[in-house]
Structure 1
Amino acid sequence: MSQSTTQRPAVTDYKVRPTVNFTAAELEASHIARFHELIEDVEVFSDIKSAVGRRKHFHPLSPRGHLGPAKITTPHNFHMSYVEVPPGSSSFLHAHDAVEVFIPIHGKIAFIFNDGGEEEIVLDPLDVFSVPPHMIRNFKNIGTTNALFLVIYDGDDVLNKIYVDQETHDKFAREAAER
């Protein structure tokens, strides 16, 4: 691991301020999301039930429940989801206005990116990929078992700012018309 060359102040300037206190029950009620209690969001993205796009989304933290059912809905400047992906499943090529951070927990995830998906990078567990805004990409489980990763979405409006190419847009429009 390389050392950082960023200059920091020699001493952190700590401040004194009043703190807040909670009971364990208060924290459990609105500030702690237990993984085994999370509710699967079966409607968050239109492709999650397709043969190629099969995956499960669980949202431990989503301000105002914007992404779907979430245990922690208090104000934050980001959203969090766990995504479970079966072997061979993937998302479609898409982009967001905001940064999206992926952290695989287990499994092997390939990220395919750039127009046409001509580049690929593989992440191992606990690697971190901070996807720049407007970069077209998708992910695919290239392992032999289910993969699980954590996604952190920057900002407060994730769902209304998803961009796809014209071919993908037309495909989704046809599928919606057939329903």
Structure 2
Amino acid sequence: MTWTLDALTERRVRYPDLVPCRNAFVDTRSPGSDRKENFTIIGPGVAESADQHVHISEPHGFNVGGARQPDGCLNSQHSHEGAEVFVVHTGRWRLFFGPEREDGTLDIGPGDVVSVPIHMFRGFEKLDAGTGFLWVVLGGDDPGRVRWAPSVFELAREHGLVLLKNGQLVDLAGGDTLPEDAELETAPDADEIARLVTPSAERLAQCLVRHEDLQPSAASPLAGEGVEECPVIAPAAGADGVGPGPITGWWPHGFQLRVLRLTAGAATPDYRCEEPEVLFVQSGQARVVSEAGELTLETGDTFTSPQGWEHRVIADADTEIVVVRGGDAPAGPRLAA
């Protein structure tokens, strides 16, 4: 397929153009959680509200979303069926573990990446002043449902929100009525909570890579003068020889995550990927260049490369780009002849 610049532009989601949903989940009116914004950038996400805007619906084998919160704003305790990865774009954050936040915390800052294991309760709070943004990757085309802690259900009902068994959010305080024969979702009981156990602190430490600890791989086909690629999440080695690790996980991810670093003026070779590839500009500014022309990516922008499409990345400033490629062991970049 021949790609036009207009068609490629539709695959770019600029940070200023992100459309938030402020009533995405059943905890949206709970004190401390009522100021958060949820974003679905690629894929359906896990939002419970029909108001959630989806920027790009094309299946990738994984989902991309985001959370934007001011200081002191809390995302309530919940568990996921599939992988949930946080890339800290801006701000300092604290993750809380356990159904009532009793199983410890983890503080993360800009550039840190953490993959929270499935089937355990987690929540998070923005710590420092101002508004911060988390870029989030979820495993699978259908990332499943969120399972909320018991206290979340109690607070939601106090504020007029009810969650149904089918995942639909009903706003009773806002004038919604319960559908006939509606089945209400129930809070997890003691047996279910016991199964959603928090791993040890030692195991959780295997799920975090600090920004300052990123290490480039000499095996990366994209490596060259002013260009390095750092593996972050790799359940298995890619066909390009990079990986596994440093985060491997003991649960399915369905994607690999790396960080591409370019100094100002540096460029990757021309390459293509046969699997889905998503670029998120953590910092700096770059251009994606192909026969169709040039597409600028600025800090906070997300772009999904067409599969099999030949292109290169040129940095206009010192730039860091988070790269997600579909599959636990993707083929990775194929250089042009």
TM-score by length of 2: 0.43
CA shift digits 1:136-172 (9 cap, x unpaired): 01000111121111111112334x5111233322332
Could you say what the CA RMSD is over the residues aligned between the two structures, in angstroms?
2.1
The counterpart of 2:5, out of the listed 24, 33, 50, is 24
> What is the distance in 2 between the residues matched to 1:94 and 1:157?
17
SS at match of 2:100: helix
Aligned to 1:142: 127
> What is the distance in 2 between the residues matched to 1:150 and 1:111?
15
> What is the distance in 2 between the residues matched to 1:47 and 1:164?
9
Aligned to 1:153: 138
Aligned to 1:15: none
Tell me, yes or no, if structure 1 residue 33 matches structure 2 residue 13: yes
SS at match of 1:143: coil
**Comparing both structures, which one devotes a greater share of its residues to strand?**
2
Task: Report the alpha carbon displacement of residue 25 of structure 1 after superposing the two structures with TM.
Answer: 0.5
One-letter code aligned to 1:47? D
One-letter code aligned to 2:6? A
Give yes or no for contact 1:38–1:70 (8 Å, CA) kept in 2. no
Structure (1 or 2) with the larger CA radius of gyration: 2
SS at match of 1:117: coil
Higher RCO, Cα 8 Å, sep 6+: 1
Matched positions, count: 157
| Equivalent residue runs for 1:1-179 within 5 Å | 20-29=1-10, 31-53=11-33, 54-63=35-44, 67=47, 68-118=52-102, 119-158=104-143, 161-174=145-158, 175-176=160-161, 179=173
> What is the distance in 1 between the residues matched to 2:155 and 2:115?
28
Give yes or no for contact 2:79–2:146 (8 Å, CA) kept in 1. yes
SS at match of 1:42: coil
> What is the distance in 1 between the residues matched to 2:161 and 2:140?
28
> What is the distance in 2 between the residues matched to 1:176 and 1:44?
11
Gaps of 5+ in 2: 163-171, 174-337
Give yes or no for contact 1:107–1:143 (8 Å, CA) kept in 2. yes
Gaps of 5+ in 1: 1-19
Identity of aligned residues (%): 25
One-letter code aligned to 1:152? V
TM-score by length of 1: 0.77
Give yes or no for contact 1:110–1:123 (8 Å, CA) kept in 2. yes
> What is the distance in 2 between the residues matched to 1:77 and 1:139?
25
Task: Report the alpha carbon displacement of residue 51 of structure 1 after superposing the two structures with TM.
Answer: 3.6
Give yes or no for contact 1:62–1:70 (8 Å, CA) kept in 2. yes
CA shift digits 1:20-53 (9 cap, x unpaired): 4311101112x22122222112332132344401
Structure 1 segments, 4+ long, off by >4 Å, are none
One-letter code aligned to 2:108? L
Aligned to 2:317: none
Give yes or no for contact 1:35–1:60 (8 Å, CA) kept in 2. no
Give yes or no for contact 1:32–1:72 (8 Å, CA) kept in 2. no
* 59 and 121 in structure 1: CA distance in 2 versus 1, 3 angstrom threshold: same
> What is the distance in 1 between the residues matched to 2:99 and 2:29?
24
**Comparing both structures, which one devotes a greater share of its residues to helix?**
1
